[in-house]
């Protein structure tokens, strides 16, 4: 088998394979290779509908609960860090002890809650526990945060009127991000409760003596509403990402099932074509070729051929008597069912007896015992199988009430063989040797209902069987030439035969839920007749076992995907403990992949949600502007300019990020279209492409992110700068400013805590760009803290020198800096957990990508192998996992051309060397010839030609087995193909002769082809229980075989109706005359097709060139075929 030939085969197979890519593969290609995707897969409504349609909501809630457990564990660590830090600062400044103790108590009370929520059985039994824990945490945080100002107010301390809650923003973020709440409405209600409680304390305690209490409360209300909105936004965006991730993870489990299924399918496919002793070499070479397909081949990927030698084997040839009459007398479906029942039982019997079926050629079924491993009982196994086959065909004949007296003629010989694969395509395991030919002739010289064996086989049987002389040499020239002594096995007496029949298993394959085979004992001929209806029903349910068991298992495995997903959810490592101890191939501190090659592809992932981040930034900017409007004098022009510029920048960014989404929504509001055309307007198309660029370009997204965050930060800092300029203009010493003067100064500027709130909104927004790298966001957060701290401490210290603080003796400026610092830490912890989950998700995608690649490789191999025993459209039918596995495959064609081409002057061995030493070299030459014939199939003019099989040195092919014509008796589709099937196949036969002549010149041989062609109605189907075999049947097939056997070397002989078709097409055909043909009573008129020295078909002179390729008039062809059908029915012996 040549390397170039195998490359052609691979190319042909892979082109068909790559057209069927799974939905998961599409998604992986989009996410890992950054190819265009459909934004609709990320729409919140679309995802929710998918979950409802697939009934996944309950499983999704479990998945969400696991993720929330991870966030809650992060919250406990975060709360401990903030509480200890705050308590430490209070201890350093010698603040009142109750304040520090309260923070420590809150930290201590949070830890037991971890053990409660992580008790999955408890939470599963009492689902309300998660809500109860969440409410307890919120109440605890409210008590701690509001308790301090209320405590000092109740004690009437001097600092009571300047204290405010410290962790308002933190508590609100905890409600929306860190608590184990599965419903958004629950988080929203808790957020409103926190907001109302803090506004109440601010109004009754903090701002009680302030002159502008209502303006300040209004600004705080706007800020709290913004934080609530951002928290709800975070939950919605996270839900979209989590649902998308959930579907991907579930697809990963389905992919695993598919990989395992296709691995098993590949194994069964291999074993159905090639015995196990060759399978490893073939698989290795195929996978090697697939791995090297995208790179230059550095070595020859395939050996010349796969052929091995075996000594001490027995060969059985079996012929079905009256087979030809059976194929033309039964309806299509009955014929396929009968043949499948018959040959399926033969397969099961051969498997039971330890005999390897090689193939069946029409009515001939042959097999070998002693391959691949030596079996000392190989002769006995073949004899027992022969007796079984005679009994089986009798049972089938009686069960199906067949009119034809079907019987078996068995021939067995023992010796040595060469076995393996030949050709480029349609691989078929075969055997060759002189002993194989002797076994074949033993069958031909046998008698119906008898097992015919040679003396070599008899010597291996011992005294287990009674034999009588067979005298086969008197009936066969080959046996006479080699002086073969033959014998018939004498059947046991009637009583013994019935006893053996009762003990012999009834080979009826059925499939239970597990797909296991059941062998039931035969009840004897009389009982078979009494229950013929039952047995016939069993026989009608016999189906191809070759892939159906795996198909059933695959379908069952997909049904268990939810169970597997539940197990995967249970084993998810989402907590802080898991992150540091289990690693998951991710550095727990830097959150980088241990495989650094993953980093860049991870960063380049698309972000279909980025447009929502930009839209949210507009919402935040408007909130900041509202706070400014409520407390900023109109004389401060710098902040207004800053807000105006920032609004202009964001409004410019909106069409650059939203155009693709809005266009898709406008053109497909109901999400029904598969393809949405791009805008034709140039400007609109430019915005459309820009929005796509934003989704797929990480650099573009990062640039937009920095522009948005810098714009928001500038708006915050401009107010500090304006107030600093006003303060310098007053020219007063800060140490001499009285309290009333300070209130006037603060009133002239925005309230200090409102400036800090604006900075807090900037920080929150900078962290809510979810797919921006978390380290960049943390660095930007630190820069904002440093910048703001400089403004507080250096630029405008007098503004932040007095006013509300968190705790007594805690300087106000420090409280402001602690506020933005603690908020940044909270946001960073939240971001780290989100980043960790994103990286886990990406690791799953990587795993899925590897599995999908493996699955695709297996799928290619499966397609290659399956197409080497079945036509492409039949192979596609078998690989369709949605098909009914109880259905038999068969088709009926109205017009098919069939060709048999035999190699004459070819000898497998030299009669002068009886040891067969030159058989291997002869096989190599035969392989070269068949490979060159196969390569003709890849020519564009021969794509409709299907290679059916190679029997010895006879090549069988057909033309007209077109897909999409199953169970159809319609005529040829003239609009699809311009050339008649007879013309296509005849040209193919002439090309084969040209190829053979070239080989003769190169190898100094004198081989010739004897070709026979016929056409007409043909039945095609797949039969065989263990090894599927695609074959065609019908009178046209039989006649094509007879045309070859009665033909002459170097000529193409055709039937009369086939010659009429060629003549109508302008091809010169010469009448040979009437000849005797096997199975036909009357003499049959045949024709020879003429071709020139270049093996081009000779045209009739009176036909113009323009008409040579014209299509035959339908009525004339139909008239010829109908007349020939009538003659066939009259001449066929039934």
User: Which runs of consecutive H residues, i.e. helices, occur in 56-119?
Assistant: 57-92, 97-117
Q: pLDDT confidence of 615, banded at 50, 70, 90?
A: very high
* H helical segments located in 545-636: 545-559, 561-570, 576-581, 599-603, 610-631
Task: Check whether 278 has a pLDDT greater than 80.
Answer: no
Q: What pLDDT, in 10s, does the model give residues 437-469? A: 999 999 999 999 999 999 999 999 988 889 999
Average pLDDT for the chain: 78
Determine the straight-line distance between the first and last CA of the chain, rounded to whole angstroms.
Answer: 43
Instruction: Over range 192-201, report the average pLDDT.
Output: 95
pLDDT band at 45 (very low <50, low <70, confident <90, very high): confident
Which has the minimum average pLDDT: 89-93, 181-185, 386-390, 522-526?
A: 522-526
Planar angle of CA 689, 694, 695, nearest 5 degrees = 100
Residue 367, beta-bridge partner list: 316, 357
d(CA 261, CA 557): 9
User: What pLDDT band is residue 336 in, cutting at 50, 70 and 90?
Assistant: confident
If pLDDT is split at 50, 70 and 90, which confidence band does 533 have? very low
Joined tokens for residue 150: 């209320």
Question: CB atoms < 10 A from the CB of 567, how many?
Answer: 10
| Contact status, residue 9 vs residue 578, Cβ threshold 8 Å | no
729 pLDDT more than 70:
no
Whole-number pLDDT of residue 911:
54
d(CA 743, CA 725): 17
> Exposure pattern of 925-947 as b/e (b: 16+ CB <10 Å)?
bbbbbbbbbbbbbeeeebebbbb
* Candidate from 313-322, 415-424, 505-514 with smallest mean pLDDT: 505-514
> What span, in angstroms and rounded, lies between the C-alpha atoms of 773 and 517?
57
Q: With bands split at pLDDT 50, 70 and 90, how would you rate the model's confidence at 298?
A: very low
Q: Which of 690-699, 827-836, 848-857 has the lowest mean pLDDT?
A: 848-857
Mean pLDDT score, 136-150:
92
- Look up residue 425 and give its DSSP letter: S
Give residue 738's pLDDT band: very low, low, confident or very high (50, 70, 90). very low
Give ∠ CA 876-879-881 in degrees, rounded to 5: 125
Q: 910 pLDDT exceeds 60?
A: no
CA distance 1027 to 268: 9
On the question of a cis peptide bond just before residue 372, with omega within 30 degrees of 0, the verdict is: yes
Q: What is the mean pLDDT of residues 160-172?
A: 85
CA atoms of 759 and 38, how far apart (whole Å): 36
pLDDT for 1: 46
pLDDT band, very low/low/confident/very high, at 248 (cuts 50, 70, 90): confident
DSSP H stretches of helix in 676-811? 682-696, 698-730, 739-748, 752-767, 774-790
Closest by Cα among 1082, 1035, 1089 to 1059: 1089
Per-residue pLDDT, 1108: 42
If one compares 827 and 359, the residue with the highest pLDDT of the two is 827
Q: Which of 256-260, 417-421, 775-779 has the highest mean pLDDT?
A: 775-779
Q: What is the DSSP string of 234-247?
A: HHHHHHHHHHHHHH
CA distance 1035 to 803: 106
Q: Which of 268, 203, 88, 183 is nearest to 1024 (CA)?
A: 268
Residue with tokens 């170097």: 1050
| Predicted TM-score of the model (pTM) | 0.64
Is 27 or 176 the better-scoring residue by pLDDT?
Answer: 176
DSSP state of 586: B
Is 50 exceeded by the pLDDT of residue 989?
Answer: yes
Rounded distance, CA 266 to CA 273, Å? Answer: 11
591 has a pLDDT exceeding 90 = no
Cβ contact 266:546 at 8 Å: no
Say which residue, 420 or 757, is predicted with more confidence: 757
Q: Average the pLDDT over 549-562 and give the result.
A: 64
> Of all residues in the chain, what percent carry a pLDDT higher than 90?
34
Query: Tokens 């008590």 map to which residue?
Result: 143
Lowest-confidence segment of 120-134, 306-320, 557-571 by average pLDDT: 557-571
Overall average pLDDT of the 804-832 stretch = 92
Rg, Å, the chain Cα set: 42
**Close Cβ partners of 113 (under 8 Å, ≥ 6 residues apart):** 72, 76, 133, 136, 137
Mean pLDDT of 372-393: 92
Comparing CA positions, the residue from 571, 575, 600 lying closest to residue 842 is 600
Q: Which residue has the higher pLDDT, 5 or 664?
A: 664
d(CA 461, CA 412): 12
Confidence of residue 1111 (pLDDT cuts 50, 70, 90): very low
621-644 pLDDT, tens digit per residue, is: 999 999 988 876 656 678 888 899
Q: Please state, in angstroms and rounded to a whole number, the distance separating the CA atoms of residues 749 and 634.
A: 10
Task: Give residue 1131's pLDDT.
Answer: 41
Give the sign of the dihedral formed by CA 746, CA 752, CA 754, CA 759: positive
**Highest mean predicted confidence (pLDDT) among 324-338, 541-555, 692-706, 848-862:** 692-706
- CA gap 1133, 199 in Å, rounded: 104
Q: How confident is the model at residue 845 (pLDDT cuts 50, 70, 90)?
A: confident
Q: Which residue has the higher pLDDT, 421 or 355?
A: 355
Cα–Cα distance for residue pair 725/729, rounded to 1 Å: 6
Task: Mention every residue, 6+ apart, whose C-beta is less than 8 A from residue 469.
Answer: 486, 487, 488
Q: How far apart are CA 1134 and CA 1128, in angstroms?
A: 11
Judge contact between 1061 and 980, C-beta under 8 A.
Answer: yes
Report strand pairing: 1051-1055 vs 1008-1023: parallel
Question: pLDDT tens digit string along 932-978?
Answer: 998 898 888 888 898 888 888 899 999 988 765 543 333 344 444 56
Cα separation, 388 vs 400, whole angstroms: 18
Give the pLDDT of residue 1005.
Answer: 87
pLDDT at 1097 over 80: yes
pLDDT score at 830? 93
Strand pairing category for 407-421 and 306-321: antiparallel
Q: Nearest 10 degrees: CA dihedral of 251, 256, 257, 259?
A: 120
* Residue 791 structure tokens: 């403004």
Task: Identify any residues that bridge with 1021 across adjacent strands, giving them in sequence order.
Answer: 890, 1031
pLDDT tens string 496-516? 444 344 444 444 433 332 333
């Amino acid at each position: 088998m040549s390397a170039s030939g195998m490359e052609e085969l691979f190319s042909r197979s892979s082109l068909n394979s790559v057209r069927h890519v799974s939905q998961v593969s599409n998604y992986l290609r989009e996410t890992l290779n950054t190819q265009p995707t459909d934004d609709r897969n990320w729409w919140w409504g679309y995802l929710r509908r998918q979950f409802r349609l697939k009934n996944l909501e309950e499983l999704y809630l479990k998945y969400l609960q696991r993720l929330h457990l991870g966030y809650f564990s992060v919250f406990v660590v975060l709360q401990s860090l903030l509480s200890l830090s705050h308590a430490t600062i209070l201890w350093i400044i010698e603040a009142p002890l109750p304040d520090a103790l309260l923070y420590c108590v809150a930290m201590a009370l949070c830890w037991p809650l971890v053990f409660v929520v992580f008790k999955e059985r408890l939470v599963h039994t009492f689902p309300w526990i998660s809500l109860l824990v969440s409410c307890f945490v919120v109440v605890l945080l409210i008590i701690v945060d509001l308790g301090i100002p209320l405590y000092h107010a109740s004690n009437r301390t001097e600092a009571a009127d300047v204290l405010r809650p410290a962790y308002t923003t933190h508590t609100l973020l905890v409600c929306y991000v860190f608590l184990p709440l599965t419903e958004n409405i629950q988080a929203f209600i808790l957020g409103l409760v926190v907001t109302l409680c803090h506004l109440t304390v601010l109004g009754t305690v903090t701002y009680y003596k302030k002159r502008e209490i209502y303006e300040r409360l209004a600004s705080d209300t706007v800020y709290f509403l913004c934080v609530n909105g951002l928290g709800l936004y975070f939950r919605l965006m996270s839900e979209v990402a989590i649902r998308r991730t959930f579907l991907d993870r579930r697809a990963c489990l389905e992919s695993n099932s598919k990989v395992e299924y296709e691995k098993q399918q590949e194994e069964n496919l291999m074993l159905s074509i090639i015995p196990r002793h060759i399978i490893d070499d073939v698989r290795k070479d195929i996978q090697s070729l697939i791995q090297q397909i995208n790179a230059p081949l550095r070595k020859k990927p395939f050996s010349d051929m796969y052929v091995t030698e075996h000594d001490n084997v027995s060969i059985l040839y079996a012929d079905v008597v009256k087979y030809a009459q059976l194929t033309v007398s039964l309806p299509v479906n009955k014929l396929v069912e009968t043949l499948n029942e018959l040959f399926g039982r033969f397969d099961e019997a051969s498997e039971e007896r330890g005999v390897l079926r090689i193939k069946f050629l029409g009515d001939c079924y042959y097999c070998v015992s002693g391959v691949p491993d030596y079996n000392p009982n190989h002769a006995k196994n073949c004899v027992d199988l022969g007796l079984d086959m005679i009994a089986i065909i009798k049972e089938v004949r009686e069960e199906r009430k067949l009119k034809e007296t079907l019987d078996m003629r068995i021939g067995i010989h023992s010796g040595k063989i060469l076995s393996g694969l030949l050709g480029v395509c349609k691989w078929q395991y075969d055997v060759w040797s002189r002993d194989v030919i002797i076994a074949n002739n033993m069958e031909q010289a046998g008698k119906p209902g008898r097992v015919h064996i040679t003396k070599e086989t008899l010597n291996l049987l011992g005294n287990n069987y009674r034999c009588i002389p067979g005298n086969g040499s008197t009936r066969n020239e080959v046996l006479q030439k080699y002086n073969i002594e033959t014998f018939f096995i004498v059947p046991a007496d009637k009583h013994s035969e019935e006893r053996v029949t009762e003990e012999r298993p009834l080979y009826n394959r059925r499939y239970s839920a597990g797909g296991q085979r059941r062998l039931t004992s035969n009840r004897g001929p009389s009982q078979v007749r009494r229950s013929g209806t039952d047995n016939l029903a069993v026989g009608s349910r016999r189906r191809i076992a070759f892939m159906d068991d795996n198909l059933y298992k695959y379908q069952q495995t997909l049904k268990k995907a939810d169970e597997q997903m539940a197990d995967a959810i249970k084993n998810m490592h989402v907590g802080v403990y898991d992150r540091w101890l289990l690693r998951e191939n991710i550095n727990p501190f830097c959150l980088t992949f241990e495989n650094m090659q993953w980093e860049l592809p991870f960063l380049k992932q698309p972000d279909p949600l980025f447009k929502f981040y930009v839209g949210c930034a507009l919402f935040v900017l408007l909130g900041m502007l509202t706070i400014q409007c409520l407390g900023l004098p109109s004389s401060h022009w710098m902040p207004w300019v800053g807000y105006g510029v920032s609004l202009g920048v964001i409004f410019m960014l909106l069409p650059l990020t939203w155009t693709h989404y809005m266009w898709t929504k406008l053109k497909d509001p109901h999400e029904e279209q598969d393809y949405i055309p791009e805008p034709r307007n140039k400007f609109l198309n430019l915005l459309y492409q820009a929005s796509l660029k934003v989704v797929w370009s990480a650099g573009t997204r990062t640039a937009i992110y920095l522009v948005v965050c810098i714009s928001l930060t500038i708006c915050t800092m401009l107010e500090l700068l304006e107030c600093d300029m006003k303060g310098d203009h007053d020219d007063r010493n800060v140490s001499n400013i009285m309290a009333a003067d300070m209130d006037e100064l603060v009133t002239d500027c925005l309230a200090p805590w409102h400036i800090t709130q604006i900075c807090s909104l900037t920080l929150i927004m900078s962290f809510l760009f979810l797919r921006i790298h978390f380290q960049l966001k943390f660095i930007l957060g630190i820069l904002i803290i440093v910048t703001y701290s400089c403004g507080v401490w250096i630029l405008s210290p007098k503004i932040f020198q007095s006013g509300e603080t968190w705790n007594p003796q805690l300087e106000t400026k420090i409280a402001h800096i602690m506020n933005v610092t603690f908020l940044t830490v909270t946001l960073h912890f939240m971001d780290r957990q989100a980043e960790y989950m994103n990286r886990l998700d990406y690791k799953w995608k990587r795993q899925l990508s590897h599995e999908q690649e493996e699955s695709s490789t297996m799928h290619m191999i499966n397609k290659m192998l399956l197409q080497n025993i079945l036509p492409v459209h039949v192979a596609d039918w078998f690989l369709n996992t949605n098909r009914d596995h109880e259905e038999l495959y068969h088709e009926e064609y109205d017009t098919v051309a069939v060709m048999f081409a035999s190699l004459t002057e070819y000898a497998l061995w030299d009669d002068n060397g009886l040891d067969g030493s030159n058989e291997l070299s002869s096989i190599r030459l035969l392989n070269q010839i068949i490979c060159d014939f196969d390569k003709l199939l890849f020519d564009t003019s021969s794509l409709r030609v299907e290679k059916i099989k190679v029997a010895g040195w006879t090549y069988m092919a057909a033309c007209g087995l077109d897909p999409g014509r199953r169970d159809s008796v319609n005529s040829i589709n003239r609009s699809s193909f311009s050339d008649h099937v007879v013309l296509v196949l005849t040209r193919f036969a002439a090309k084969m002769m040209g190829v053979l002549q070239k080989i003769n010149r190169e190898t100094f041989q004198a081989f010739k082809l004897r070709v026979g062609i016929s056409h007409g109605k043909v039945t095609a189907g797949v039969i065989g229980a263990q090894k599927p075999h695609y074959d065609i049947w019908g009178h046209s097939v039989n006649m094509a075989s007879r045309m070859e056997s009665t033909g002459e070397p170097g000529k193409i002989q055709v039937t009369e109706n086939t010659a009429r078709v060629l003549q109508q097409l302008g091809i010169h055909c010469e009448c040979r005359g009437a000849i005797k043909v096997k199975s036909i009573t009357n003499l049959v008129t045949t024709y020879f097709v003429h071709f020139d020295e270049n093996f081009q078909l000779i045209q009739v002179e009176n036909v113009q060139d323009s008409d040579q390729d014209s299509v035959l008039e339908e009525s004339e062809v139909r008239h010829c075929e109908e007349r020939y059908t009538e003659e066939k029915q009259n001449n066929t012996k039934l």
